[in-house]
């Protein structure tokens, strides 16, 4: 019986043991890659949930409790910014970099670096500065997933908010320059009164903006 052309060629190929083995390896590699990529992405998404972030008591009993009392958790519009919305980039490349950095956090979980409220508060300033620096370097990238200067209607804002937002735009500031503590308690502030303290200095909360960081004049002009 004569087989159709395609089947005949396929049969001829698989009659050769070396070619058959090659095809098997290629098929195994293809399906293995699909399964690996699907599993990898599933794991990535599973680790980008609020449930995952609060799975350890260090987060659940400290920063998550603070976050639940803020406008990012409950507000009149019902729009909620959860842990990964603010702390995990959405773009694939930056997300992978952040995940690699997070491996250090897993290590400190094992070491028990902040496993009590006392240890956590002792490290609060250091942890906060790491996150402030990260957000400063990315121009508050995660904030801009929801907020953007281009979308502001200054006429609808309060007088103080409108003034500060326009001043921040003109001075080249980014969200985190002024909105530290928007979702978590701030570290203690060094008041420079009495005995020395380990709190943050005012300059750490509101660092000066270098002149070269100011936005171009074209961006400063108010939009008609």
Domain spans in the chain, listed from the N-terminal domain onward? 40-48+57-147, 153-175+206-224
pLDDT in tens, 186-212: 887 665 555 555 555 556 655 665 555
Which of the two residues, 54 and 4, has the higher pLDDT score?
Answer: 54
pLDDT, position 102: 87
pLDDT, position 34: 93
pLDDT, average across residues 80-97:
92
Q: What is the mean pLDDT of the chain?
A: 82
pLDDT, position 41: 87
Round to whole Å and give the CA distance between 95 and 130: 17
- Does residue 132 carry a pLDDT above 80? yes
Does the pTM surpass 0.85? The reply is no
**What SS3 state is found at 111?**
helix
**What SS3 state is found at 179?**
coil
pLDDT, position 103: 87
Select from 204, 199, 144, 202 the least CA-distant residue to 175: 144
Round to whole Å and give the CA distance between 24 and 129: 53
Select from 53, 69, 71, 224 the least CA-distant residue to 146: 71
68, 73, 75, 79: CA torsion to nearest 10: -170
Residue 13, CA distances (Å) to 5, 27, 195, 219 in order: 12, 14, 84, 65
Residue 126, CA distances (Å) to 70, 129, 200 in order: 22, 5, 9
pLDDT in tens, 9-44: 666 666 666 666 777 788 899 999 999 999 988 988
Round to whole Å and give the CA distance between 64 and 60: 5
pLDDT, position 12: 67
pLDDT, position 203: 60
pLDDT, position 218: 46
Count of Cβ atoms closer than 10 Å to residue 142 Cβ: 21
3-state helix, strand, coil in the chain (%, to 5): 60, 0, 40
Cβ–Cβ < 8 Å for 143, 135: yes
Residue found under tokens 């790491």: 130
pLDDT in tens, 155-195: 899 999 999 999 988 998 999 999 998 899 888 766 555 55
151, 138, 189, 184: CA torsion to nearest 10: 70
Q: Which two tokens mark 98?
A: 């952040």
**What SS3 state is found at 56?**
coil
pLDDT, average across residues 116-134:
92
Which of the two residues, 93 and 192, has the higher pLDDT score?
Answer: 93
pLDDT, average across residues 74-95:
91
pLDDT, position 210: 58
Residue 133, CA distances (Å) to 76, 91, 129 in order: 31, 19, 6
- Does residue 224 carry a pLDDT above 50? no
- Does residue 219 carry a pLDDT above 60? no
pLDDT, position 124: 92
């Amino acid at each position: 019986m004569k087989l159709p052309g395609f089947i005949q060629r396929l049969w001829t190929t698989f009659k050769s043991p070396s070619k058959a083995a090659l095809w098997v390896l290629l098929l195994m590699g293809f399906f293995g890659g699909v399964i690996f990529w699907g599993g990898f992405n599933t794991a990535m998404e599973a680790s980008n949930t609020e449930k995952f972030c609060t799975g350890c008591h260090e987060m659940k009993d400290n920063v998550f409790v603070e976050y639940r009392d803020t406008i990012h958790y409950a507000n009149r519009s019902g729009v909620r910014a959860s842990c990964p919305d603010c702390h995990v980039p959405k773009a694939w490349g930056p997300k992978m970099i952040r995940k690699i950095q997070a491996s250090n956090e897993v290590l400190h979980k094992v070491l028990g670096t902040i496993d009590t409220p006392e240890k956590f508060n002792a490290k609060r300033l250091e942890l906060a500065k790491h996150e402030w620096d990260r957000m400063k370097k990315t121009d508050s990238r995660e904030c801009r997933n929801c907020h953007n200067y281009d979308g502001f209607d200054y006429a609808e804002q309060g007088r103080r908010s409108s003034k500060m937002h326009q001043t921040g735009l003109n001075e080249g500031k980014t969200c985190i320059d002024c909105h530290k503590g928007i979702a978590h308690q701030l570290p203690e502030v060094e008041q420079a009164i009495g005995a020395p303290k380990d709190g943050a200095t005012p300059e750490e909360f509101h660092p000066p903006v270098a002149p070269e960081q100011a936005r171009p004049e074209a961006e400063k002009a108010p939009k008609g």
